Amino acid sequence: MRITQGAFSFLPDLTDDQIRAQVQYCIDNGWAVSLEFTDDPHPRNTYWDMWGHPMFDNPDAAALMMDLAECRKIYGDRHIRVVAFDSSHGWESVKLSFIVNRPAEEPGFRLERQEIAGRSIRYTTKSYAADRPAGERYG
Amino acid sequence: MSSTAEAIVKPAGTPPAVDLREEFETSGVREVLAELDRDLIGLAPVKKRIRETAALLLVERARKSMGLAQETPTLHMSFTGNPGTGKTTVALRMADLLHRLGYIRKGHLVSVTRDDLVGQYIGHTAPKTKEVLKRAMGGVLFIDEAYYLYRPENERDYGQEAIEILLQVMENQRDDLVVILAGYSERMDRFFQSNPGFRSRIAHHIDFPDYTDEELLKIAETMLAHQHYVLDEEALTVMRDYIAKRRGQPHFANARSIRNALDRARLRQANRLFETSKGPLDATALSTISAEDIMASRVFSIAAKAARAEQ
């Protein structure tokens, strides 16, 4: 099951040129772009691992594309996303984030039901991939 | 049909002809070259090389628009010359030129030295160099005194690591950035000899000649004019003498020496005005540098001592 989070996730995967154009748009708006990766893509997992530092003073998207190529070389079997952070006063938060790399196969999530007192049921979703230990989930 | 004839057959949708004159005007190259001519004194061979390079790039761009060329030409350069001959200034203009011709996307210049590229411990160099390269993407990376990157006397020096990363990016990301190496001629030659990888990746070697005395005098006048100062008649002759004497002394750095000399002359002028003036001073008095302000320089006393020693 293809996970959908961040911008553009219902579209077909962006090509490198499209990624470059989006990143350049972010930079031109003065946002600091950076890369994050994870092998636990649960929708509630907002804390992905950082790849390098946010790029506050790089005027061109080529810098991020260079990092992305390196990140893919090592973590090509995980989810990688671009994060664009707006540091201007009052915002100080992520303005745009989108997935730029996916594992070859995304097994998706299962729904778990827990029966609790008073015949109520508590639901939760669990990633199939997360059954395996971190680092071996999409190998 | 021979293969050469086939190669000239153009793909559909390309313009049938290109007017180089018009390209020259509309791309703004003419402006940059005119500015270069106007603002920089002397440096005739450098200007000629830049004009040639601009022509080459313009033609290359026209060829590309007609589908005759696909590869981006190698644009990495080396600027060699003595200190104070205008390498950094020309690099700035070069960045502007390349930007207007569309060979680099942003046209900014990132000027670095060994300290910015090479780390202090194992594993520090690669991230540092990459950080700098990322900052320079879409523009020009200007590495001043590039030969310090390579220290043959210390085989564990981290400079080698920076060189390898640089070479890799220079080769693989020619569309993304242009690298200009700068430094003194002899040491650059030695640097290129011991790092053949650099020599082969650099297409344009531009040599910056020393300024003549006449040119330096003109530079002095221009520098002063920018700060709204003038040399009076007598000071002009003394300045000419000063330049000739300064050249013979160690650590002569062309225009930079002149700038420093003028800074000191302004200091002496201020002191002189402060100590000698009785009444109010007019604008002419405040902005005129006279002979004694320059005469007080150590350059003259050293020269006199040397002359006495010879006798």
Whether A129 maps to a domain, the answer reads: no
Confidence of residue B19 (pLDDT cuts 50, 70, 90): confident
Whether B144 maps to a domain, the answer reads: yes
Confidence of residue B311 (pLDDT cuts 50, 70, 90): confident
Tokens of B89: 């200034």
B292 and B143 housed in the same domain: no
Mutate to test the interface with B, among A20, A58, A71 (most CBs of B within 10 A): A58
* Arithmetic mean of pLDDT, B204-223: 90
Which residues 6+ apart lie within 8 Å of A16 measured at CB?
A: A65
Interface residue B112 vs chain A (CB under 8 A):
no
- Note whether B147 and B159 are within 8 A (CB): no
> Model-level pTM?
0.81
Mutate to test the interface with A, among B108, B137, B173 (most CBs of A within 10 A): B137
* Arithmetic mean of pLDDT, B269-286: 87
Domain tally, chain B: 2
Nearest CA in chain A to B174: A62
CA distance B170 to B72: 12
B159 and B236 housed in the same domain: no
Residue B258 belongs to domain with CATH number: 1.10.8.60
Residue B139, min C-alpha distance to chain A (Å):
8
Least confident of A4-8, A52-56, B8-12: B8-12
Beta-carbon separation of A58 and B135 below 8 A: yes
Confidence check: pLDDT of B1 > 50: no
pLDDT attached to residue B279: 82
Confidence of residue A119 (pLDDT cuts 50, 70, 90): very high
- Print the domain residue range for A73: 16-106
B113 and B229 housed in the same domain: no
B158 and B24 housed in the same domain: yes
pLDDT digits (tens, 9 = 90+) for B163-178: 999 999 998 888 889 9
Nearest CA in chain A to B136: A58
B192 and B289 housed in the same domain: no
Confidence check: pLDDT of B2 > 50: no
Q: Other C-beta atoms within 10 Å of B23: how many?
A: 17
Whether B154 maps to a domain, the answer reads: yes
Confidence of residue B295 (pLDDT cuts 50, 70, 90): confident
Whether B2 maps to a domain, the answer reads: no
* Element containing residue B218 per DSSP (H, E): helix B213-226
* Chain B residues inside the 8 Å CB shell of A62: 105, 137-138, 173, 175-177
Beta-carbon separation of A62 and B177 below 8 A: yes
The chain-wide mean pLDDT, for chain B, equals 87
Last residue of a domain, one of B164, B179, B208: B208
Q: For chains A and B, count residue pairs whose Cβ atoms are closer than 8 Å.
A: 38
Whether B4 maps to a domain, the answer reads: no
Nearest CA in chain B to A63: B134
Domain tally, chain A: 1
B198 and B218 housed in the same domain: no
DSSP chain A: -----SBTTTSSPPPHHHHHHHHHHHHHTTPEEEEEEES---TT---PEEEEEEESS--STHHHHHHHHHHHHHHTTSEEEEEEEE-STTT-EEEEEEEEE--S----EEEEEEEEGGGEEEEEEEESGGGSPTTSTT-
- Note whether A101 and A78 are within 8 A (CB): yes
B305 and B242 housed in the same domain: yes
B53 and B170 housed in the same domain: yes
* Chain A residues inside the 8 Å CB shell of B139: 59-60
Last residue of a domain, one of B176, B208, B240: B208
Residue B191 belongs to domain with CATH number: 3.40.50.300
Beta-carbon separation of B137 and A55 below 8 A: no
CA distance B191 to B205: 14
B219 and B204 housed in the same domain: no
pLDDT digits (tens, 9 = 90+) for B72-98: 788 899 999 988 898 988 999 899 989
B300 and B182 housed in the same domain: no
* Chain A residues inside the 8 Å CB shell of B108: 59
- Print the domain residue range for B134: 10-208
CA distance B230 to B162: 47
Whether A128 maps to a domain, the answer reads: no
Residue with tokens 């991939």: A129
pLDDT digits (tens, 9 = 90+) for B117-146: 999 998 899 999 999 999 999 999 999 999
Last residue of a domain, one of B208, B225, B250: B208
B187 and B43 housed in the same domain: yes
Whether B257 maps to a domain, the answer reads: yes
CA distance B73 to B102: 12
Report the percent of chain B where pLDDT is more than 70: 95
Beta-carbon separation of A63 and B108 below 8 A: no
Beta-carbon separation of B135 and A57 below 8 A: yes
Interface residue A55 vs chain B (CB under 8 A):
yes
Residue A83 belongs to domain with CATH number: 3.30.190.10
B220 and B144 housed in the same domain: no
Whether B118 maps to a domain, the answer reads: yes
CA distance B26 to B38: 20
Residue B173 has its nearest CB partner, among A55, A58, A62, at A62
Mutate to test the interface with A, among B103, B134, B177 (most CBs of A within 10 A): B134
